[in-house]
Amino acid sequence: MLDLAIIGGGPAGLSAGLYATRGGLKNVVMFEKGMPGGQITSSSEMENYPGVSEVKSGFDFMMPWQEQCFRFGLKHEMKEVLRIKKVGDHFSIIFSDGSEEQAKAVIVATGGSPKRSGVKGEDVFWGKGVSSCATCDGFFYKGKEVAVLGGGDTAVEESIYLAKICSKVTLIHRRDAFRASPTTLERAKNEPKIEFLTPYGIDEICGDDSGVTGLKLKNLQDGSEKEINISGIFVLIGYNVNNSVLMQEDGSSLCEVNEYGQAVVNLKMETNIPGLFAAGDLREDAPKQVVCAAADGATAALGAIEYIEHHK
């Protein structure tokens, strides 16, 4: 039986493996169906991780993590986890090929991914002017004009954040009414750099070899079309958490989740199921930053060590 199973190989999972093995656990396996690194590996530039002054691509940034995190005995198995079940005082890890492993404790760090709009040009310019994180990438558009697509709290809040950096922010939403809270919406309307463009949809994200240059828009009421020139667009229409491994055969979740399917945890990353921890973007209120995911993983690992020590 494994001491600890870690599901997911992004910053949270790798950090959990590092802290768990360096903390004395001998039989720790990280299950990740692909190569470790997480969704940050698709980022074109990473420049806000403390202590790393060199600007790197997400892929290059994550490469040293693997060497460091495997140094103390963490094992990586390239297997897809289908489901986690609680069986007595331990956990059963069920894989897509039908095989199983048993573990005393589990850290789930399967992350999530931003919803994409499906607009023409989005995939072409993803990471080259199309982003899903203003906190991560807003600095690259200092003094430039950008657009935000979305109508919820995140889209409006990120528009307010970008207005402090950019010369102009065009907030595009397909409806006149916004899902964002009235207080947040009022703050945005009082920000002179933010222009509201409703009810509009994006027909195409345009650009060239240097990246995004503009948008083709359509008014969804009267069908009229217009084009705007921008340097970047932030697609903020929602976020999917990868929580399928928590789902049981009867459709329930192994642990408590909130209305968005995010795992509910305490400050130790403990779920309501003893021995089960959730870290990174899977857990509720995750800031969706690499440094925060890494901290979550370390916290969860320390909690797992304590749990296993008390349940020998």
Instruction: Give residues with Cβ within 8 angstroms of 104, minimum separation 6.
Output: 1, 2, 3, 4, 90, 91, 275, 308, 311
133 is catalytic: yes
Q: Rounded distance, CA 278 to CA 255, Å? A: 10
- Give Rg (Cα) of the chain: 21
Of 89, 97, 123, 133, the active-site residue reads 133
Number of Cβ atoms within 10 Å of the Cβ of 119: 18
Q: Rounded distance, CA 166 to CA 160, Å? A: 10
206 is catalytic: no
- How remote is the C-alpha of 162 from its chain's centroid? 19
Torsion of CA 108, 109, 110, 111, to 10 degrees: 140
Contact in structure between 98 and 112 (CB atoms under 8 Å): no
Of 3, 69, 137, 281, the active-site residue reads 137
Measure Cα distances from 312 to 91, 96, 282 in Å: 15, 30, 28
Of 136, 166, 206, 255, the active-site residue reads 136
Helix (H, G, I), strand (E, B) or coil at 202: strand
Contact in structure between 115 and 238 (CB atoms under 8 Å): yes
DSSP element (H, E) containing 57: none
137 is catalytic: yes
* Residues taking part in catalysis: 133, 136-137
